[in-house]
Amino acid sequence: MALLGLLDREPSHGYDLKHDYDAYFARGRPLPFGQVYATLARLARDGKAIVGEAEPGAGPDRKRYTITETGKSEVEAWLAEPIPAEPYLQTDLFVKVVLSLMLGRRAEEYLDAQRAAHLRRMRELTELKQRDSLVDTLLADHGLFHLEADLRWIDLTEARLAALAEEVAS
Amino acid sequence: MTGANGSSLVQAGGVAIEGRNLVLSFGETPALQGADLCVKRGEIVAVMGPSGSGKSTLLYCLAGILVPDSGEVYFDGQRLDAMREAERSRLRRDRFGFVFQFGQLVPELTAEENVALPLLLRGTHREEALREARSWFEQLELEGMERHRTGEMSGGQSQRVALARGLVAHPDVLFADEPTGSLDSMNGELVMGLLTRVARQQGSTVILVTHEPRVAAYADREVIVRDGRVSSMAPVMQ
């Protein structure tokens, strides 16, 4: 959907779309060319984009892709649709704590180690924010707020460990 | 590492400030029960912990605002806890900076006078102190508000003025107690970005009490206070 969305700005080549995707969304995981062209072919097949004639120039594919009205409607609908508010009820974090208590292990040590790992990642993301790019800041903030929510859960769980251990043991 | 002459060891190690085995009770209520914290020069350390864990009490002991019942506080080769109040007061004025949760600006003074206050108290000439204070307003993003009083500024603006007041005299150590506690996320970001940037430029050591992980993430490292003691972090932090 991100590629179709980028195409909604203006007609574009696969190479340029990949470049823009990598710049804004990839975050160290660039999109393989193969995936870009496979996605564009699928969009064309489904009537969401139109393929133009091949143009002379460098690169593996100089075809220009243009979004169709169907494609535009799909982008519009996707942008407005909320993603599921995941309850995150079965995370590893939760399972590790309950299993530790069941097995009589020290869940405090695991929680301390997890807190330290979360805080370390938060420091890395905070450093990322110093780079003056609002796009980087936006992504880092998203991670920071989620990690902070985990940390609140870790603190609360730690405060309840004795009671939890009793409940799990009974 | 503690010798008979602990202070010289502290200085030799590039340590800015250190509390050793600090104990302090308020009446029957223990606040610190053997807290240790050693902070290097130029380091930014976040002190975290649940409410009532003793993290603010630790900060005030290190800053010489409170005196521990037992234990030692070393700053720049001196036993801070053994000083008379007048000496500690002078040290706080000349070497330390402070930022609190609710700015605590002097309402009768303008924003620039508030910023200039630590310089004036150190004996800097009034015009020079005000000139220096005014030079801060651009990076505070408060240009044009130099003559405003606290009632004419938002909470975020007041807190930025309070931060400038804490840092204007290039303190050796800045003590910050929940500096973003009364601010929304955006203003909290502004204050923390400014605090860490200026402190690093100046080489000021920062001890930052906060319960917010996003604020602590601006620090070089975190320590956690639980039941009046400082917990070392898990090995993954090393």
Nearest CB among A117, A126, A155 relative to B217 is that of A126
| Chain B nearest-CA residue for A127 | B218
Q: What is the CATH number of the domain that holds B119?
A: 3.40.50.300
- As a whole number, the mean pLDDT across chain B is 89
Nearest CB among B217, B231, B236 relative to A144 is that of B217
Break chain A into its structural domains and give their ranges. 2-80, 92-169
**What is the radius of gyration, based on Cα positions, of chain B?**
18
**Band of the pLDDT at A129, cuts 50, 70, 90?**
confident
Q: CA A95 → CA A90, A107, A145, A147, B189, distances in Å?
A: 7, 11, 22, 17, 34
Using CA atoms, how far apart are residues A100 and A97, in angstroms rounded to an integer?
5
Contact B46, B214 (CB under 8 A): no
Quote ipTM for the complex.
0.78
Centre a 10 Å sphere on the Cβ of residue B187 and count the other Cβ atoms it contains.
18
Pick the residue with more confidence: A87 or B187?
A: B187
Helix axes B185-202, B155-167, angle to 10 degrees: 10
Determine the structural domain holding residue B174 and report its residue range. 6-231
The answer to whether the CB atoms of A117 and B233 lie below 8 A apart is no
For B11-60, what is each residue's pLDDT tens digit?
A: 445 999 999 999 999 999 999 999 999 999 999 999 999 888 999 999 99
DSSP state of B121: H
pTM of the model: 0.81
Examine residue B127 and state whether it is found in any structural domain, yes or no.
Answer: yes
Number of domains in chain B: 1
Element (H, E) at B231: strand B229-231
Using CA atoms, how far apart are residues B106 and A135, in angstroms rounded to an integer?
39
Domain A2-80 fold is Arc Repressor Mutant, subunit A (1.10.10)
Using CA atoms, how far apart are residues A91 and A97, in angstroms rounded to an integer?
10
